[in-house]
Structure 1
Amino acid sequence: MKRTIIKIDEELCNGCGNCVPNCHEGALQIIDGKARLISDLFCDGLGACIGHCPEGAITMEEREAEPYDEIKVMELMVPKGRNTILAHLEHLRDHNETELLKQAINYIKENKVDMSPKNDEHVHKHTNSHAQPQAFNNLNEARAAVTPPSSGCGGGCPGSKAIDFNIDLNKVNEAASQVKVMPETVASADAPSELRQWPVQLHLLNPQAGYFKNADVVLAADCVAFSMGNFHNQYLKGKTLAIACPK
């Protein structure tokens, strides 16, 4: 399949190894003095390692690659201990990869992985050196992160945070069918939004986000919603949206 995956420029790589501990999935190793991607299976394409390369040797590219396999990653990660597992769960949470997060948590439960805390451990997550890392304290907190918040602001720029609104459209339609609306009120009723995810701007979207999985995608000019009164109901309903200016 064609997907986003890391690319290492061997000319720029100096073999410092800074990227290795910041790839919690275990996709990177230093071999013959250079960072190597040991398997496409272990690279989730989210780029946690990029900011830790002092030489700028790691970039992202789109190419044919084996699909990322969360179960194989967990099999590789469990022997590394609780801290590595927690950092990986945070990584998935931070990128709104709820489906992969569910798979990881199910693996932990089904295989009875010991997640008890140890006093001499400190959880590290990929972040800048000035920020204080915040970790899950236990598996329940990780499980709670599977369901994204449905409202409120998480801080920072909302345009860069991936959110899946996760609306159960069947329940909405079922409830709507039980409501009797007088004909004269139909025209004046507020039309509900059919938007299912955030962000929507093309340059902010992560193609690996969970809301793209098996989804029908509407690509629209950013002025369309203002030009077409029935855009939500006619084109957007049940689909994932990407908008951009065609100029």
Structure 2
Amino acid sequence: MAKREIIRIDEDKCNGCGECIVGCHEGALQIVDGVAKLVNEEFCDGFGDCIGECPTGALTIEEREAKEFDLEATKDHVEKVRGEEAVEEMMKAQAEHADEDKKESHGHGHTDGCPGSRMRMMNKDNTKSSGEEVEVESQLEQWPIQIHLLPPTAPYFKNADLLITADCVPAAYGNYHQKMLKGKAVAMGCPKLDDAQAYVDKLTAIIRENNLNSITVARMEVPCCGGLVRIAEQAIQGANSELVLEVETVGINGKLK
């Protein structure tokens, strides 16, 4: 067997919630004895769409010897367990993956962890710039901003519009301050690198202690960043709030999706 990228499950972190099963279009995952299991290596394409659904950080992509992804066998499997509509959804996902591979074929290689950690170069055309320096005024109205450091009873959260921002968003999206942050309180973090449950607990306290007007998550398009959405949803539920979560997604090319 050749080495390739494939899902890895840390069973010690898995809480058996089953969210990853929904995120896996290929039906490669199943809850067995209370934890997620890879039912067949041939059903895992290694793109990690399921990673962003996991609230505990139990899923990563690793490179190891594994059976090759078998598209035809996977189609048969998905049709058997989920039906024809699920096969159509799977093929849409496969088409998106193929398109992503084409875009990334120049100047980048795969790395362990998740698709979001794959190296790539944007090749921006700086000749289109006017050459004039434009100073953009910061819209930040508080400190600290990292979720771990935020005091839930801070006065800037009272009656606020809360923007939960993935760490990479301000670097990727040039209009972050004017289009997203302006007029909002902010909580920043990375669902891949930090303690997801600690985030849930802190955000739950912030929502519970303050009469928030709205909650928005600003995330990157990479699968692992979807974990921030799951964290926010759990916090809203834990605080027994009726607020409706809004989500803004930024592509790695700096464009809103």
**TM bucket normalised to smaller:** 0.3 to 0.5
Q: Provide TM-score, normalisation by structure 1.
A: 0.41
Q: Provide TM-score, normalisation by structure 2.
A: 0.40
More helix by share: 2
